[in-house]
Structure 1
Amino acid sequence: MRYDETELRQRLETLPPRARAVFAVSCVTEHLRSYDEYHRKANRGDPAVVRGALERLLTDLDGTEINRRELEADLERVMAVIPREDDEPWFEEQAYAEDVAAALAYAIRARLTGSSQEAAWAARRCYELADHAAINELEEEGNESPDEETILHHPRVQAELERQAQKLSAIENVGETAVLRAVTEEYRARTHDDDEGGAQS
């Protein structure tokens, strides 16, 4: 599979605005752990801001309307805790955290604006996160300069593209409400497991 933003945006255009935001948030929930790992390693960022914004976005999409100003405030807070490339010292997890926090910001914008482009950008940042992870793994295996095709066919990248394709097809075929509920349940189950693991460590 390949990432095709033009095709993705065209398919998103056929969906109602809420469905576009559901697709965007479905990409983000898979990767929130990356931000937590960055915070633990670098002692920077604010997972509470990121997870709080995501929870309110999920709640809003599920029908419990969140005040628009609150979503806008969440967007500002998330933007403020996106790691910058020039943050020092640099950590490998920094790139992943930047991608996932930026993807969440795009997902919030997709909800606020209904824009298919914002939703596509959320998906793109999650694809780029997988791309970064693939490059790091290949370099650790001794491939210092992997070419684009090698990166594209890495299992991490293909798994991300497959996940996105499955979520979009499910929204098109069974509707965004069913997908949102499944995504929310999966995300909260992972969060519970992470909390349990942290309590035991």
Structure 2
Amino acid sequence: MVDDKRCRRQEAGLLTATLRTQDRSARGQRVGTNSLPVEASNCVSREDSVNEYDEPKLVRRLSQVSLKGQAAFAAACAERTFPLYERYAALTGQGNQAQLRAALDAAWKAVGTEVSREDLARWRKVAGALVPDDEDPGWIDETAYGQNGAAAIAYTLSTHLTGNPQDAGWAARQLYEAADYAAQRQLGDLDINDPRAEDALRATLVVQEALFGIQEVLAFVNDKSEVTCQDAVRLKRQAYDAGERLAKFTLRSS
């Protein structure tokens, strides 16, 4: 049964996974000190880096592409987070990988072919119900990845249903937030009050992988008057490979 309260929060764009201001420090996700221990092996060079995650600009650009393009963009972001959901489920024994995979596959299918609104709405409820709650028992650090992974898929399905580019933007935010969270864990002594903190997080390989992915898919859908079934197959394959790579980057230590 779907949690109605959680679904209402999802509809309002207030899934806990989207809230960067959420206080995760109690679970050791950020530890304030006075140092910025950024290892070169975990970072990209300044000239190769993507400088920012600008969601308002992202949504404005998405508003200029077709609904199929918006949905394909969101699905590609969600696909990149799915391996992180798999890790959460494997470590906690919670969640449902098979159901969430089916929900994401339905979102991809709807990019290339017709899928009924009833089916899309049903899968959206499934994905929304699989977003771990902050109060769920057995919380571990990887539960945050479970939140991002399931929320990204819920927002992808919402994109199909609402035609609102903000839903696609929220799907992208899940990818960015998952990478940002991984970077926080890697830079365990990071002082979030240091004005250089955001630059340090953004320079990590895991955050750059997410930002490059967002920009790459955005550029692809912006160049298409309409996204075809063949385009969806290509994007899904590329996003799957990128998700595996992102998951490996989240395991790197500073």
TM-score bracket for the superposition, by shorter chain length: 0.7 to 0.9
Write the distance in 2 (CA, Å) between the matches of 1:168 and 1:186.
13
Larger CA deviation: 176-185 vs 153-162: 176-185
So what's the TM-score if we normalise by structure 2? 0.69
- For 2:52, the aligned partner's letter is R
1:35 to 60, 72, 85: 85
- For 2:143, the aligned partner's letter is Q
Structure with more contact order per residue of length (Cα contacts < 8 Å, sep ≥ 6): 2
2:74 maps to what in 1? 24
Matched, 1:172 2:222: yes
1:98-177 alignment, distance < 5 Å = 98-139=147-188, 143-146=189-192, 147-174=197-224, 176-177=227-228
- For 1:155, the aligned partner's letter is L
Question: C-alpha displacement at 1:186, in angstroms?
Answer: 3.8
So what's the TM-score if we normalise by structure 1? 0.86
Write the distance in 1 (CA, Å) between the matches of 2:60 and 2:217.
16
More helix by share: 1
Write the distance in 1 (CA, Å) between the matches of 2:112 and 2:58.
23
Aligned to 2:91, the other structure's residue is in SS state: helix
Cα separation, partners in 2 of 1:52 and 1:190, compared to 1, 3 Å? farther
Cα separation, partners in 2 of 1:71 and 1:84, compared to 1, 3 Å? same
Structure 2: stretches of 5+ with no match in the other structure:
1-50, 244-254
What per-residue deviation string (whole Å, max 9, x for no partner) do you get for residues 112-166 of structure 1? Answer: 1111110011101110010011111111xxx243522211221111111111101
Structure with higher Rg: it is 2
Matched, 1:78 2:127: yes
Aligned to 1:176, the other structure's residue is in SS state: coil
1:61 to 83, 101, 111: 111
Would you say how many aligned residue pairs link Structure 1 and Structure 2?
A: 187
The answer on whether the counterparts of 1:82 and 1:97 sit within 8 Å (CA) in structure 2 is yes
Write the distance in 2 (CA, Å) between the matches of 1:189 and 1:162.
14
What per-residue deviation string (whole Å, max 9, x for no partner) do you get for residues 3-39 of structure 1? Answer: 0011101101111111111111111111211111111
Question: C-alpha displacement at 1:181, in angstroms?
Answer: 2.1
Write the distance in 2 (CA, Å) between the matches of 1:190 and 1:119.
18
Amino-acid identity (%): 29
Question: C-alpha displacement at 1:78, in angstroms?
Answer: 0.9
Question: C-alpha displacement at 1:73, in angstroms?
Answer: 0.8
The answer on whether the counterparts of 2:78 and 2:152 sit within 8 Å (CA) in structure 1 is yes
